[in-house]
Structure 1
Amino acid sequence: MAGHQRAPSASFKSKPRLSPVPLRDIVILRLLNALYLATFFQPDEFFQALEPAWRLAFGPGSGAWLTWEWHHQLRSSLHPLLFSGAYMAADRLSAVFPPGNAIRSAAVIVSPRILQAIIAALGDWYTWHLASNVYGSDSNASFFALFMQLLNPWQWYCSTRTFSNSLETTLTVMALCYWPWQLVGVAPYSIKENSKPFNVLRGKLWRLRASLCLAALAVVLRPTNILIWLTIVFIALTRITLQGNSPLSFGTVLVLFREAILCGSLVVGLSVLADRFYFGEWAFPPYNWLTFNISKSLAVFYGRNPWHYYLLQGIPLLCTTSVPFVVPALFKPSSKTADQANILRTLSYAVLSTVVALSLISHKEVRFIYPLLPVLSVLAAPRAASFFTSVTRTSPPPSISSAAQISASQPSGTKSPAARRARLRNKPLLFTALGVNIVLAGYLSFLHQPAPLGVLSFLRQEYERIHPSAVHHAHLTHYSNVTTSTNDDSNKEDLFALFLMPCHSTPWRSHLVYPGLSAYALTCEPPLHTQPNTPERELYRDEADRFYDNPIPFLRQELFAPGNPVVPVPRYIVGFEGIEPWLGEFLNTPEGKRLGISQLTRVWAGFNGFFNEDWRREGYMIVWDTGLYEGSVTRA
């Protein structure tokens, strides 16, 4: 009896891919998303990568603010290197405009978001490709996976922000798309006695290598990403709970480990060289990050969350209106073939194991499970598609002979007369869900915390007006040698703006731009000098804490201490409106009167949303002019 091998599932066949939305249109959509995103979310958007990228692009004298993680080599330099290239390109290209032109600074400011918009578009595009690998490119489920991703409010709010999590999400879904899912498919072994098993990696080595390199990049960028890949590899090797769970051949396992070691070594080597260039010494941030967190236990310094945070808050915030489809799909994925069932089970196990592992860590944020969003969209897509559409045939199916004639006469990728057509149903619920998503995305993009970006735009424009000579230079790369001197020495000041607000409440040099625009903000460095579970750690109060605990004594005895002030008298003071009474009270003290400020004048006020989870950030953001320098604005 001749040996027979079962053909691979249709999910694995190479076929034309006709996306419902071209990649070009997705890029345009994300560019609009990036350019019209006018709100502040979290400091990491700017301090994780943009500040070190600014320093790389424009030099040590550019005024970038490097947070404590960079001084302790806890982050990979690959992320900042990516955006430093965008900064330098924008700086060179914008040189066609006259010196001091506002377009030049605007081009440099927006360049990281343009790059991130392209990265986000690739994430959307590869989400559809991953769904196509599972369900087929002409499946309604694949289309719904893409649309759920494009219309997701969290994706609109975060995908074009320069978080490391945003890049990690795109790298993860790309790696999942290239992953050889035949490893978890129903093994097509020969039924001939003593025959060799089918080599599931035959012809797939380059896809495997691409997947492993992308996965390794994601892990170097965010070490917790390894949780996803440990689950997938474990299931592929053990084939636990999978249909047709015959073990992989020993040769396949060896190939898998060989490629993992080679690809991992390549990416780690690239990362080490980049870090050597950036830090000026040999360093390996993933290892530093792990050992530092174990020895210092600093995660809790940024807040504690209950164990069920990701279940009751994280996943609902991540998925919003798709939650009713996501939750059942996690525990019972919808599949039509054994191969689909195995892939979907593997993806759901990867999600569940990652959520469980991250739930054991005290500090939790929705961003930490952001890389799971494309997987959740793929898992939920069949249920959403069946709920909102019904599939009918446009004409009776042709006979085998007529089908062959039609296939031969039509171009590749053209649908036959027997193609299915999906009709919408449950329209009120569909349009309600779309409306909720649009309202959420609109509010988060335009109305929730827009002041932190607006205030820096105001300060930058004021600096350009007051010190025009300081901005008349050909390239930002020359700014390391620029001083704030002007033709009128009476216009000089040591401190342009003082930020009296919770630390990192605004971006920094990535939006202030000019190094001569000197500014000071309250700091919140973690207590690196203390040990976990000690009274010293428990009683530690950073600079921002001390200000809000006792504002008047802090201003009198620390910030403007007689004989040893931390900062000189600024031109502008920036803060939320709740501190205005404190400032007035301070100016009536002997230390306040010594500053020479007779009265603070409001010169700018920015709306900052209808609510804020931090009471210190409630109300409008205000800029007060101290009135001590010439050229001050007088408008309210």
Structure 2
Amino acid sequence: MEKIKKRIFFRSDPTETVKLRKRKSVLYSKRDAHLGSGEGLFGASIYLVLFTVAVRVVNCFLVQTSFVPDEYWQSLEVAHRMVFNYGYLTWEWTEGLRGYSYPLFFATIYKILHILKKDTVQLLIWVPRLAQSLLSALADVRLYCLVNTLENAETAKWVYFCQLCSWFTWYCCTRTLTNSMETILTVFALYYYPFHGTHKKSSSKYLMWIALAFIIRPTAVTVWLPLLFLNFSKESEKINFVIHHCVPVGFKILGISLIIDRVFFGKWVLVQLNFLQFNVLQNLGTFYGSHAWHWYFTQGFPVILGTHLPFFIHGCFLTPKRYHVLLIAIFWTILIHSLLSHKEFRFIYPVLPLCMVFCGHSLANLKKWKKAAAAFLLVSNLLLALYSGLIHQRGTLDVMKPIQELCLNESTLKETEPSVLFLMPCHSTPFYSHTHCPVKMRFLECPPDLTGNKSYIDEADVFFMAPLNWLNRELNQTLLPSHLIFFSVLEEEIVPFLAGNNYVKTTDLFHTHFPEGRVGSHIYIYERKSK
């Protein structure tokens, strides 16, 4: 019995406990000291910060392709309407599924440009993306600082390298997507996360970043559930943690979001609840496509990791135990998203910086093949990044330039009243944020039916079932637009309408080497000529 008592008493060695506490204290002091040190404003060498910003600015200008409609329709288009009082809002805004907090960021930029009388269309397009690039660069630096604090400069260097040369990060981080901001805020929160146990100073900080990510995109909380659970389980004063940290942060951030939405919606709307109800509880996202349950495991995750995949797998066996919670968060996020029918690559983008921690550990532990592995990663990702950023799916952005030219001559705009009809899958192109003039434009709409009508077919589907019939029925001599824009795959079907109404092809733009379904390899602009 005496032996058992001694074993229990000495199970936790007081000396080791003191050492552990000192270790934690040093780590947290080291991290917090970054903020006030002479190493730069963001906890790293000023040269590292400037270099990272420069890389992301170059990154921004080398991404001239479109990815998904949300990078315009859930940010820039809304911001343009908020500031300039004209534009188009999708059904998600009329139904209160999206909040104004994220568009307000870009609306502020637009308003400043407008006040300075610098609101040219090119600045309206590029300044928001440059702002996104700057935030992405700060997230890259934060990731480096986190690993430098927890490990050492060598490991941090390789994690930073993996982050910068990730092709999917290059492809997404400078886009005005909610997923891009969600990923940035996730890294900011991760920097303050108490990996070595509880730490009161950092708790409110990382919770604040999580709350901001949740406001912008409610599914952002998914990746944080395992980390929140671990932090909560280690808290000795759990009630105090909830009352003095979680509740105040939640009320402040959610309160600000509610007020912003109250101002712009004109009524009280809890958009986060509506978003979760539509996408999770009702699973109505399937209206925009569905995939097999295993898609993220077999395609989504391997694709966004790209050639980093073998290094990620290798790193999973090398990282210390404290990083296992990140591994759990990665696969938990993928698993939860796999339960939803509608799947996209960008939905799991926020776990990519977490994956870079494991990839960096892999490279740091390689000996003979370290330089060869780094060269392989750099070249393979650079090729993917340049192709996806400069070539693949660029037509839907390039097509906005001829429309901008319609706005240059105001007298012509008033006399001829040009109008544009996009005969493309809905939201294929940006809209007034990329023309910045009230030229008449129309596209085929595709809002989902929220009434449960199983026979409902949206306008875009009705058109593509019988394009020629739709044109003859919907358009007549008084309604004919001056310009028609469509993918090359549609041309053959509507030739009789084009010829019969004096439409002539004026522009042929390359879009993709991989046409699929309703999306063609080129985009054509037809202009109606007078007889």
TM-score (norm: length of structure 2): 0.89
Residue matched to 2:508 = 605
Deviation for aligned residue 1:556: 1.7
Residue matched to 1:355 = 334
Residue matched to 2:294 = 308
Residue matched to 1:369 = 348
Matches within 5 A, 1:88-167: 88-95=111-118, 104-136=120-152, 138=153, 140-167=154-181
Residue matched to 2:284 = 298
Residue matched to 2:519 = 617
Residue matched to 1:221 = 216
Q: How far, CA to CA, are the matches of 2:281 and 2:333 in structure 1?
A: 23
8 Å contact from structure 1 (residues 156, 441) kept in 2? yes
Deviation for aligned residue 1:257: 4.7
Supply the AA of the counterpart residue of 1:625. Answer: E
Deviation for aligned residue 1:508: 0.7
Residue matched to 1:581 = 492
8 Å contact from structure 2 (residues 99, 271) kept in 1? yes
Q: How far, CA to CA, are the matches of 1:55 and 1:352 in structure 2?
A: 39
Deviation for aligned residue 1:433: 2.6
Supply the AA of the counterpart residue of 1:492. Answer: T
Q: How far, CA to CA, are the matches of 2:14 and 2:352 in structure 1?
A: 43
Secondary structure in structure 1 of the residue aligned to 2:449: coil
Residue matched to 1:416 = none
Secondary structure in structure 2 of the residue aligned to 1:503: coil
Q: How far, CA to CA, are the matches of 1:327 and 1:432 in structure 2?
A: 16
- Deviation per residue, 1:6-34 (Å, 9 max, x gap): 22256545176655961122112212221
Q: How far, CA to CA, are the matches of 2:122 and 2:228 in structure 1?
A: 45
Q: 1:165 to 1:295 in 2, by over 3 A?
A: closer
Q: How far, CA to CA, are the matches of 2:242 and 2:170 in structure 1?
A: 36
Q: 1:294 to 1:143 in 2, by over 3 A?
A: closer
Residue matched to 2:421 = 498
Choose between structure 1 and 2: higher helix proportion. Answer: 2
Residue matched to 1:398 = none
Supply the AA of the counterpart residue of 2:208. Answer: C
Matches within 5 A, 1:558-597: 559-560=474-475, 568-587=479-498, 593=500, 597=501
8 Å contact from structure 1 (residues 130, 378) kept in 2? no
User: Does 1:259 find its partner at 2:245?
Assistant: yes
Secondary structure in structure 1 of the residue aligned to 2:116: helix
Deviation for aligned residue 1:258: 2.5
Gaps of 5+ in 1: 96-102, 184-199, 239-246, 336-340, 391-423, 471-483, 486-490, 630-636
Residue matched to 1:273 = 259
Residue matched to 1:508 = 431
Secondary structure in structure 1 of the residue aligned to 2:120: helix
Supply the AA of the counterpart residue of 1:311. Answer: F
Deviation for aligned residue 1:380: 2.3
8 Å contact from structure 1 (residues 90, 111) kept in 2? no
User: Does 1:628 find its partner at 2:514?
Assistant: no
Residue matched to 1:47 = 73
Gaps of 5+ in 2: 1-9, 35-42
Q: 1:257 to 1:504 in 2, by over 3 A?
A: same
Residue matched to 1:526 = 448
Q: 1:146 to 1:518 in 2, by over 3 A?
A: same
Highest Rg: 1 or 2? 1
Residue matched to 1:395 = none
The number of residue pairs the alignment matches comes to 505
8 Å contact from structure 1 (residues 26, 124) kept in 2? yes
User: Does 1:334 find its partner at 2:311?
Assistant: no
Runs of 4+ in 1 over 6 A off after TM superposition: none
8 Å contact from structure 2 (residues 162, 359) kept in 1? no
Deviation for aligned residue 1:573: 0.8
Deviation for aligned residue 1:157: 0.6
Residue matched to 1:99 = none
Q: How far, CA to CA, are the matches of 2:44 and 2:347 in structure 1?
A: 32
User: Does 1:289 find its partner at 2:281?
Assistant: no
Residue matched to 1:451 = 395
Secondary structure in structure 1 of the residue aligned to 2:446: coil
Q: How far, CA to CA, are the matches of 2:128 and 2:498 in structure 1?
A: 41
Q: How far, CA to CA, are the matches of 1:128 and 1:69 in structure 2?
A: 37
- Which of the numbers 90, 94, 101 marks the counterpart of 1:78? 101
Q: How far, CA to CA, are the matches of 1:354 and 1:428 in structure 2?
A: 32
Secondary structure in structure 2 of the residue aligned to 1:575: strand
Supply the AA of the counterpart residue of 2:77. Answer: E
Q: Share of identical aligned residues, percent?
A: 31
Q: How far, CA to CA, are the matches of 1:217 and 1:254 in structure 2?
A: 22
Secondary structure in structure 2 of the residue aligned to 1:606: strand
Residue matched to 2:57 = 31
Q: 1:527 to 1:600 in 2, by over 3 A?
A: same
Secondary structure in structure 2 of the residue aligned to 1:270: helix
- Deviation per residue, 1:505-524 (Å, 9 max, x gap): 11111102101x11111111
8 Å contact from structure 2 (residues 161, 360) kept in 1? no
- Deviation per residue, 1:296-332 (Å, 9 max, x gap): 53111111111111112121122111111213444x3
Deviation for aligned residue 1:52: 1.1
Matches within 5 A, 1:388-403: 390=367
Deviation for aligned residue 1:288: 1.5
- Deviation per residue, 1:612-636 (Å, 9 max, x gap): 3x3211221011111139xxxxxxx
Secondary structure in structure 1 of the residue aligned to 2:319: coil
Supply the AA of the counterpart residue of 1:586. Answer: F
8 Å contact from structure 2 (residues 498, 504) kept in 1? no
- Give RMSD over aligned pairs: 2.4
8 Å contact from structure 2 (residues 363, 373) kept in 1? no
Supply the AA of the counterpart residue of 1:556. Answer: N
Supply the AA of the counterpart residue of 1:282. Answer: W
Q: 1:315 to 1:21 in 2, by over 3 A?
A: farther
